[in-house]
Structure 1
Amino acid sequence: MAISTLVIVILVILLIGAVPSWPHARSWGYGPSGLIGAALLVVILLALLGYF
């Protein structure tokens, strides 16, 4: 269970860093934050179902 918690924390940090309101990510659009958000959702679902 520790590895899934670590992956979730890392994905949350990446999601916060990829939000388009930050100056370094303003030109990226919503693509990176959407992809990281989708990956976070999949990891959370797998962790809740016990597969990860």
Structure 2
Amino acid sequence: MSLGTILLVVLILMLLGVIPVWPHSRAWGYGPSGSLGLVLTVLLILLLLGKI
């Protein structure tokens, strides 16, 4: 598996994790989606710099 495939799988799992449809995650607020946005921003910067 390449690094890009692994990153894609991890991002898909993170996207599924931040959807507040389960009762235990409704009170989490913007924490999970904010951290996902941070991860996506870092990955985008690394991609633009050619590090990935």
Where on the TM-score scale, by shorter chain, does this alignment land: which range? 0.5 to 0.7
Compare CA radii of gyration and give the structure with the larger one.
2
- For 2:42 and 2:14, the matched residues in 1 are separated by 15
Aligned residues: percent identity? 44
**CA RMSD across the alignment:** 1.9
Q: Which amino acid aligns with 2:28?
A: W
Higher mean Cα deviation, 3-12 or 32-41? 3-12
**Aligned pairs (5 A) from 1:20-31:** 20=20, 22-23=21-22, 24-31=24-31
TM-score of the pair, normalised by structure 2? 0.64
Name stretches of at least 5 consecutive residues in structure 2 with no aligned partner.
Answer: none
Deviation at 1:5, TM superposition (A): 4.0
Name stretches of at least 5 consecutive residues in structure 1 with no aligned partner.
Answer: none
Residue 32 of structure 2 is aligned to residue 38 of structure 1: no
Deviations 1:24-44 (A, max 9, x none): 421211101110121022112
